[in-house]
Structure 1
Amino acid sequence: MDKNSVTGMILIAAILGAFWWLNKPSAEEIEAQKRYQDSIAKVEAVAAKEAALESSNMVVENEVASVTVDDSTTQQQLADKYGLFADAVKGENKFYTLENERIKVTFSSRGAKVYSVQLKEYTNFEEKALVLFDGDKNQFGFNFFHNNRILNTNHLFYSIDEAASNDSTLRFKLSVGDDQFMAFEYKLSSNSYLLDFNIVQNNMDDVIQSNRGGFDLDWKMDVIAQEKGRKFEIQYSGVYFKYDLDVVDDISGKSGSEDFRTPVKWIAFKDQFFSSILIAKDRFSGGKVDVNVYPEEDNTPVLSTNTASLIIPHDGGALNTKAFQFYFGPNKYKTLKKFKDLDLKEIVPLGWGIFGWINRYAIIPIFNWLEGGIASYGLIILLLTLIIKLVLFPLTYKSYMSTAKMRVLKPQIDAINEKIPADKAMERQKATMALYSKAGVSPLGGCLPMVLQMPILFAMFRFFPASIELRHESFLWATDLSSYDSIWNMPFTIPFYGDHVSLFCLLMSITNIVYTKMNQEMTQSTSQMPGMKGMMYMMPVMFMVFFNNYASGLSYYYFISTLITILQTILIRRFVDEEAILAKLNANQKKPKKKSGFQARLEEMQKKQQLQQQSQKKKNKK
């Protein structure tokens, strides 16, 4: 490099150094710039967190409240971003409470939403306070357009309207201008599970804009496990919803989703015995629900995450009020039945068709009647079983008599089997049926009464797991009739059976084996299919596996019911003279059998067919 080049580079460096020194900011300017950059960074961090929260629909408490704005430039950026709601995206989250004899509801000023709900009359399986949800387990707010952005009320801070609030009412208000505000009003009446909820908009048509003729309401809740048996509780949990002027539908016991193509009246986030229900005084014009059930093996207190996106119709106007109600309470049929026009009682799974009718119009009235005078639910179940068995006794007696008739005919059936070779099975069967017909015995006579009793057995299968009255009620060794009664917690798990031994389930299985053995002895009069005897004994074993995790009240009922049936059979057998039955049957066989009109017509048709066949054969020979 020559002398001129070196001199040029030195002069350029000197000029740049002088320029930097002359334009160097002062200490005050450096501090101001630092404050500016910090404020920008805070705003950008809040925006990033809000974007993440909106995508996941989760809220982290006090995140927005941690923002402090002390710079006019930052305030202007918030105004540019959130418009008239710039002041509402920052603040301090405060909590308020409404409570009565039944529930305690806590509200947060952020989102003006229900923050937690405690049912004061109940506890969970650990005997702790029963809380339906708490904090971020419940997200509730509606979306609207403002300043070319989608905002959600769940992220805005409201203030309490002191003039409109008292011991039973809270009014959260968010003002954006002169006589322009949005308010959430809550009212809790005495001795009620209902919380009235109103959304009020005053002169807000120019401030917020709706989408598709309504606002999108987002409700997301984690359903907390409250019972001892997680598998059983999942099976009876889910989301229920009623279509406006139509039926109640559900997604229960599994993950799934449902799009609402028609208006919906209410939606319920339900576990086995308790529900959070949002009821529209008008209706929701559409929406969607999603249920995400966590596997039974997950070691988490959450059963499922339920999400609802509902459309609230919006007509606009200077003063616009949308009225709703929350039901936070038990899935008690007697309580929910009072809401006649809403069909809330349908969230109690009593069974479909005839099974539900038996429960609603027979079992529940009797159960409630007994409940009014007896404190022990074990005794109530015992008396309920006795009443049912007394009503069904005529069918039980008829079934036994049919079996006894077939049993006394056994020697005659054996004679038929000896006379007709085994390879002529059809001929044997025809001769046996002819004997039954002459004696006046129906092979189905013993089955039909049992079939008529089956609807009651299935109805009780639905009744006991759905009855909150049995929850945490003890009887003998069972500490909770709504859950399994464990007499031994095993150190290992048997597939399908579980990790414990339920004594009522074991007793139920033993009585079923005894009853099966009695039936086998009483029905030896007819030949059985190969392997049928073993199959009959397999059923009680299958019941022992299947019912081990079910409500002990159900196993107790089946145990008592089967035991009573065994006692009835023994008593009937002692007082029934089988020799007299045989004499009557033999007398019937000697009487001329009067043919029914149908049988006569059938025989006449058979004769005509035979004559036609003979005539056709003669023609063919010619």
Structure 2
Amino acid sequence: MDRNTFTGLFLIMIVFAGSFYFFKPSEAEIKKEQQRISADSARKAGVTPDSIAAPLAAAAPALDSAALKGPFGANLTGEQSTSVLENEKLKLTFTNKGGKLLSVEVKNEKTYKGDPLILFQGDQNKFGLNLNIGGKITSTNDLYFAATKSSATSMTMRATYGAGKYVEYVYNLKPKSNNIDFNINLNGLNQVIQGNSISLNWETVLLEQEKSVKNEQRYSAPYYKYAEKNPDHIGTDKDVKEELTEGKIEWIAFKQHFYSGVLIPKDGFQKGDLEVKVSTEPGKVKWYGANMQLPFNQLASQNYAMSFYFGNNKFSELKSQGHEIEKLVEMGYWPIKYINRFVVLPVFNFLEGFGWNYGLIILVLTILLKVVLSPLTYKSYVSMAKMRILKPEMDEIKAKVGDDNPTLLQQEYLKLYKQVGVNPLGGCLPMVLQLPIVMAFFFFFPNLFELRGESFLWMNDLSTYDEFVKFGFTIPFIGDHLSLMCVLMTISTLIYTYYNNQISGATGQMKYIGYIMPIIFLGVLNDYPAGLNYYYFLANMLTFGQQFLIKKMVNDDKIHAILKENKTKPKEEKKKSKFQSRLDDYMRQQQQTKIQTKKNK
């Protein structure tokens, strides 16, 4: 691939990206198309609004009359009212309609706009039982419960089926805690409820809390944990529904970027399903739905003990809950998650103990990282210096062999490397070894609750992007803003790339490819947290400084002398590995094929 080919492919990529952006349908067009599809489906099924409304309207009086005499008849009608439980950390608003939580406010926390931080609220949120009574499903979400507030932190909700028969929810908010004890009591409903299980339904709409709804959607997902297994989650970027049938379910969690609601049953759920839908409505992030199965043993008094956690996603706070709930904090994949959990996080917590500004903590953390990796940086620099010093001899070999015989050219290069004792991959391997650590921070900073709302220099919030320029419109690949720290990170990467090219002696196509990646990173990281871009900026500058010092320490003339001396030393014959033998055989075959082709011509 020469420079012209590469440039052409790059331009084609830009054209494709632009076409996807400019020709994509608007949200209004998508909604209209969805409505059209739904209408077509209904028409094919022979269902029309009139065919539904007329029978229902005619049957409504009779239905209401019969229903009032049926199961939970006294609880089918009523006036909605609310009650409040609160402590130092939570304010919980309950409604008698469904006997459920209507809203949860996390005290002492604010949204990005400065409003009270409310995890969910409104009638779109459901929490209740689906009971099979007389072959029909009765949802407690439709019942009006009788509310009894026994104290400032305790409340009982009861829906009566008949004399001595009722469904009861008991809520107990613990003092100075984000936890709520929750008990379901089914009294006298044996032989009334059919089947050996009941279904617990929980649905909620996540409200926008952060500056970037795109990032909130990226890091929000319903989680679950099977007993004896690691927690897992379903889709973060699309609508997904998943059946959970692989064993007892220890807990489920409706996780948002920096806050979560977790439901922990004492004895676990038998099975269930989780569903997520990405919201396109302003102010809303996602819709979550869960249907969990609980065993019903036909006892006269059946009790289900559970607990809720409503609070932040700080690793230490979640870990204190037990049940491996701290794994809601995404630390990356293997081995990255182990680097973050057992190395980066403990060091970060140690530095946090000094009470420093988080910008200073990130600086010290980056310096410590560079000190630990300095041996690899030194080895990489020396290896690249050797390759640069060998370049004149490699050019001579290239001139002698010619460009039309790449197989023979590589053989001659390998002979030279062997003579002078140089590993051509010596500069790459140390960089590859550092890559998991560099990638670890890509997951660490965006999921670090401690950075939320923390400012440093011009960055008002290290957990989100800093708006240097607000465009007022969306630019393909960049977005609707420009992050100053991301721009500084990109400039530092370009400077580092230029300096690295001087060290390695890169020429031709490879020289220019290095400058394209920083531009790509500008588009990718422009929407990422300022704390992450700040770390990459510091890492670039410190690496640049390290290489500047190493350059002062390393003498090219001495390296050249050592390489010449290695040429004169007798080389011990080592047994070739199977891979090396196969490589030599392949190159020999390629060379013979090349010669035979020339003869045939």
Pick the TM interval, shorter chain: 0.7 to 0.9
Q: TM-score, normalised by structure 1?
A: 0.81
Aligned counterpart, 1:214: 197
Q: Separation in 1 of the partners of 2:532 and 2:250?
A: 34
Q: Is the 8 A contact 1:210 1:314 kept in 2?
A: no
Moved more, 172-181 or 214-223: 172-181
2:185 to 200, 212, 216: 200
Partner SS state of residue 566, structure 1 = helix
Aligned counterpart, 1:282: 267
Q: Is the 8 A contact 1:374 1:380 kept in 2?
A: no
Aligned counterpart, 1:24: none
Aligned counterpart, 1:306: 288
1:134 to 2:121 alignment: yes
| CA drift at 1:147 | 5.0
Aligned counterpart, 2:132: 145
Partner SS state of residue 400, structure 1 = helix
Q: Separation in 2 of the partners of 1:488 and 1:201?
A: 59
Q: Separation in 2 of the partners of 1:379 and 1:78?
A: 66
Q: Separation in 2 of the partners of 1:411 and 1:378?
A: 46
Aligned counterpart, 2:315: 333
Q: Is the 8 A contact 1:238 1:254 kept in 2?
A: no
Q: How does 1:339-488 map to 2 (within 5 A)?
A: 339-340=321-322, 342-488=323-469
Q: Separation in 2 of the partners of 1:398 and 1:604?
A: 29
| CA drift at 1:160 | 3.1
Q: How does 1:104-119 map to 2 (within 5 A)?
A: 104-119=91-106
Aligned counterpart, 2:172: 187
| CA drift at 1:93 | 2.4
Aligned counterpart, 1:231: 214
Q: Is the 8 A contact 1:359 1:459 kept in 2?
A: yes
Aligned counterpart, 1:562: 540
Aligned counterpart, 1:166: 151
| CA drift at 1:603 | 8.1
Q: Separation in 2 of the partners of 1:467 and 1:449?
A: 28
Cα RMSD after superposing both structures: 2.6
Aligned counterpart, 1:533: 511
Moved more, 595-604 or 218-227: 595-604
Look up the equivalent residue of 1:247 and give its one-letter code.
Answer: N
| CA drift at 1:410 | 2.3
1:258 to 238, 242, 247: 242
Aligned counterpart, 1:27: none
Q: 1:416 to 1:145 in 2, by over 3 A?
A: closer
Q: Separation in 2 of the partners of 1:250 and 1:602?
A: 44
What are structure 2's unaligned runs of at least 5 residues? Answer: 1-52, 589-601
Look up the equivalent residue of 1:205 and give its one-letter code.
Answer: N
Look up the equivalent residue of 1:564 and give its one-letter code.
Answer: L
What are structure 1's unaligned runs of at least 5 residues? Answer: 1-44, 53-66, 68-72, 611-622
Q: 1:48 to 1:221 in 2, by over 3 A?
A: farther
| CA drift at 1:445 | 0.5
**What is the CA deviation profile of residues 527-579 of structure 1, one whole-angstrom value per residue up to 9, with x for unaligned ones?**
x5x53222211000000111110111100000000110011111110121111
1:549 to 2:527 alignment: yes
Aligned counterpart, 2:223: 240
Look up the equivalent residue of 2:239 and give its one-letter code.
Answer: S
| CA drift at 1:78 | 4.2
Q: 1:448 to 1:605 in 2, by over 3 A?
A: closer
Q: Separation in 1 of the partners of 2:497 and 2:439?
A: 19
Partner SS state of residue 321, structure 1 = strand
| CA drift at 1:77 | 3.8
| CA drift at 1:333 | 1.2
2:470 to 476, 482, 489: 489
Q: Is the 8 A contact 2:219 2:257 kept in 1?
A: yes
**What is the CA deviation profile of residues 318-345 of structure 1, one whole-angstrom value per residue up to 9, with x for unaligned ones?**
22110111111111111112233x2212
| CA drift at 1:312 | 1.4
| CA drift at 1:304 | 1.4
Aligned counterpart, 1:293: 278
Q: Is the 8 A contact 2:74 2:160 kept in 1?
A: no
Q: Separation in 2 of the partners of 1:601 and 1:348?
A: 42
| CA drift at 1:586 | 1.0
Q: Separation in 1 of the partners of 2:448 and 2:225?
A: 22
Q: May I ask how many residue pairs the two structures share in their alignment?
A: 530
| CA drift at 1:161 | 4.0
Q: 1:369 to 1:589 in 2, by over 3 A?
A: same
Q: Separation in 2 of the partners of 1:606 and 1:486?
A: 56
Moved more, 401-410 or 497-506: 401-410
Q: Is the 8 A contact 2:132 2:198 kept in 1?
A: no
Q: Separation in 1 of the partners of 2:582 and 2:250?
A: 62
1:317 to 2:299 alignment: yes
Q: 1:574 to 1:240 in 2, by over 3 A?
A: same
| CA drift at 1:600 | 12
Q: Is the 8 A contact 1:275 1:331 kept in 2?
A: yes
Look up the equivalent residue of 2:232 and give its one-letter code.
Answer: D
| CA drift at 1:92 | 2.9
**What is the CA deviation profile of residues 1-27 of structure 1, one whole-angstrom value per residue up to 9, with x for unaligned ones?**
xxxxxxxxxxxxxxxxxxxxxxxxxxx
Q: Which has the larger radius of gyration?
A: 1
Look up the equivalent residue of 2:90 and give its one-letter code.
Answer: I
| CA drift at 1:157 | 1.8
Q: Is the 8 A contact 1:235 1:254 kept in 2?
A: no
Q: 1:367 to 1:78 in 2, by over 3 A?
A: same
Aligned counterpart, 1:93: 80
Q: Separation in 1 of the partners of 2:313 and 2:478?
A: 28
Look up the equivalent residue of 1:533 and give its one-letter code.
Answer: K
Moved more, 137-146 or 364-373: 137-146
**What is the CA deviation profile of residues 451-492 of structure 1, one whole-angstrom value per residue up to 9, with x for unaligned ones?**
000001111000111011111111111111111101111132
**What is the CA deviation profile of residues 240-259 of structure 1, one whole-angstrom value per residue up to 9, with x for unaligned ones?**
11123323221223211101
Moved more, 261-270 or 379-388: 261-270
Q: Separation in 2 of the partners of 1:160 and 1:523?
A: 75
Partner SS state of residue 531, structure 1 = helix
Q: Separation in 2 of the partners of 1:346 and 1:542?
A: 31
2:496 to 483, 495, 515: 515
Aligned counterpart, 2:487: 506
Q: 1:599 to 1:129 in 2, by over 3 A?
A: closer
Aligned counterpart, 1:60: none
**What is the CA deviation profile of residues 224-263 of structure 1, one whole-angstrom value per residue up to 9, with x for unaligned ones?**
1111111111111121111233232212232111012233
| CA drift at 1:74 | 10
Q: How does 1:13-24 map to 2 (within 5 A)?
A: none
Q: 1:478 to 1:260 in 2, by over 3 A?
A: same
Partner SS state of residue 151, structure 2 = coil
Once the two structures are aligned, what percentage of the paired residues are identical? Answer: 38
Look up the equivalent residue of 2:218 and give its one-letter code.
Answer: Q
Q: Separation in 1 of the partners of 2:408 and 2:582?
A: 22
Q: Separation in 1 of the partners of 2:426 and 2:498?
A: 20
Q: Is the 8 A contact 2:68 2:76 kept in 1?
A: no
1:598 to 576, 591, 595: 576
